[in-house]
Every structure is written in structure tokens, then in C-alpha cells.
Amino acid sequence: MTQVEFHHDAADKHLAACQLVHRHYTAGAKIAVYVPDGETARRFDQLLWTWNALSFIPHVTEDSPLASQTPVILQRGTRGVEGCTVLLNLAPQVPPGIDTYTLLLEVVGREESDRIPARSRVIEYRRLGHNVEMRKFGESK
């Protein structure tokens, strides 16, 4: 089963997602980031370049010829990304192919419009038999 972690109460959801990607990338994980649409992919790609002047997170889209050699993959497809053990979900729904990952990360902002769909995903992950942990963003285990 995939371990699911919800990091809630993030002041800026996408900035918090960059921090989580950075944490797992520096720990040596290969990470897929599920983006629901082209606009989210474009914005998150830009943020990965600019979120921290002293950090670089190598990333490409799943259709890049460099995808097999790059530690962070922006994914829009319906299957898991080969070689990735961590999936970060930026979509409002449960992403496809979650059983191919060891760890699934969710970031939930403070807005009710983000929290309501997150509650539905918690219920769905539990229904599918996954262990779900809740963490306030920024707090350790």
C-alpha cells in the first residue's frame, strides 16, 4: 500500500509543494508531480526555478527525452512514472496510478476551496485501503 501524507494549513500551497519536493529530492528520491492541466504545469515549472535563489531542483515533463535521468518529473498522464517512488499531487482529485508509488504527498492550503476537495481525497484514499497521515505543514513527525 502507498503511504499517504496530507500536509495541511499551508499559507501558499505551491510554495509548500516546492519545499516538499526539495526535501525529498535532497534525500535522494525520484519524484513525480501530478499536475491536472497545462497551466498548473507551467506555473509549477516556473516556481521550481524561482522559489529559492540558492536551490536548484532539476525537473522535466514526463514526455522529455531526459525524464529517465531527471529526479523530478511533471506528470499529466494516467500512469505512474517509471522509477519514481514519491508522488506529489497538485490536482483536486485522486491522481491515477497511485499504487506504483511508495509515498504520496498532498499539500492543502488554508482556503476552504482547497480543503473541501482534500477531505474527499482523504475519504477516497482510506476507502482504497491506504494509510493516511495528517500533518500541519512545517511540523515534523
Contact of 7 with 107, CB cutoff 8 Å: yes
Per-residue pLDDT of the chain (141 residues; tens, 9 = 90+): 899 999 999 999 999 999 999 999 999 999 999 999 999 999 999 999 988 888 889 999 999 999 999 999 999 877 777 889 999 999 999 998 899 999 999 999 999 999 999 999 999 999 999 999 999 997 765
CA-CA distances (angstroms) from residue 49 to 9, 54, 124, 138? 24, 10, 33, 21
Is 0.85 surpassed by the pTM of this model? yes
- Report how far residue 107's alpha carbon sits from residue 124's, in angstroms, rounded to the nearest whole number: 16
- Where do the structural domains in the chain lie, given as residue ranges? 3-136
- The predicted structure's pLDDT at residue 141: 58
* The 72-75 sheet, strands edge to edge: 59-61, 72-75, 31-34, 86-89, 103-109, 3-10, 131-136
**CATH code matching the domain that covers 3-136, chosen among 3.40.50.10110, 1.10.3470.10, 2.30.30.110, 3.40.50.10240:** 3.40.50.10110
